[in-house]
Amino acid sequence: MFERYAIFFTPTGALADFGARWLGWDSAAGCAVPMPAFEGLDVAAITKTPRKYGLHGTLKAPFHLDASTSADALHRAAVDFAAVHAPFGIGEMELRHENGFVALRPQGDLVPLRDFATAIVKAFDPFSAPLSAADIARRRKSRLTPRQDQQMLVWGYPFIFEDFHFHLTLSGRLPEATANQVIAALTPEMSRSAETPFRIDAITVMGQDGDGMFHQLHRYALSG
């Protein structure tokens, strides 16, 4: 039994392998892995915040399962969703330091990606338990806009719809100088590992264990 669930995009192949090593957590295998050494970078400290999630792009943020449903029902819904949505490209990905952290972010037309994420939020909302007062207070520490606050209250997460920005997180918050070092260190590997055009070809149901680590429970290929 997992404490929370989520719907993520998780890459496969070379990018997944490098992401697991960089972050120190392989969410597909459900285990810690040795991190690489880069001169002048404390990789363990840099990746401490995103480590528990593994390499991923959030589509529906982590949620507690509503008492009216079940994990089996969540998986059935993921099967149904994947069966009616086709894979699609989102152009080239690039390393950027935005909102304080380094991530792989898409360039180009983001409308199909935003529409896809919107469909996921709406399709899987019935599985989310209502936020607790503590959850709401914690989210409001992020200085939400009125629209984001309302989205949090209605949908359980503030950064959705027009406020959704897809990214694969590679660091916690970093000063610009350190972020530039990280980007320089990772650029050669990302150039080899991140396919172009980058494709969204599946959704992954994730589970968070009692230690806070996220595991890939099943990756459902889009086949619509």
Determine the pLDDT at residue 109: 72
Q: For the chain, which ranges sit under pLDDT 50?
A: none
| pLDDT tens-digit map of 69-95 | 999 999 999 999 999 999 999 999 999
- pTM attached to this predicted model: 0.95
Neighbour tally for 154: CB within 10 Å = 10
Spatial CA neighbour of 186 closest among 169, 199, 166: 169
Pairing of strands 31-32, 25-26: antiparallel
- Reading the block at residue 84, the tokens are 């009616």
Q: How high is the pLDDT of residue 187?
A: 96
How far apart CA 85 and CA 223 sit, in angstroms, is 6
**pLDDT value at residue 42:** 97
Confidence at residue 1, expressed as pLDDT on a 0 to 100 scale: 80
- Structural domains of the chain, count: 1
Query: What are the structure tokens assigned to 139, written together?
Result: 């989210």
Report the C-alpha gap between 204 and 58 in whole angstroms: 10
Burial annotation 72-90 (CB, 10 A radius, 16+ → b, else e): eebeebbeebbeebeeebb
Please write down the HEC assignment for all residues of 104-118.
EEECCCCHHHHHHHH
- Domain containing 66 equals 4-221
Give the separation between CA 190 and CA 193, rounded to whole angstroms.
5
| pLDDT computed for residue 108 by the predictor | 74
pLDDT in the model for residue 110: 87
User: Amino acid letter at 39?
Assistant: E
CATH number at residue 46: 3.90.1140.10
Q: How far apart are CA 207 and CA 59, in angstroms?
A: 14
DSSP string over 49-116: HHHTT-S-EEEEEEEPBPTTS-HHHHHHHHHHHHHT---EE---EEEEEETTEEEEEE-S--HHHHHH
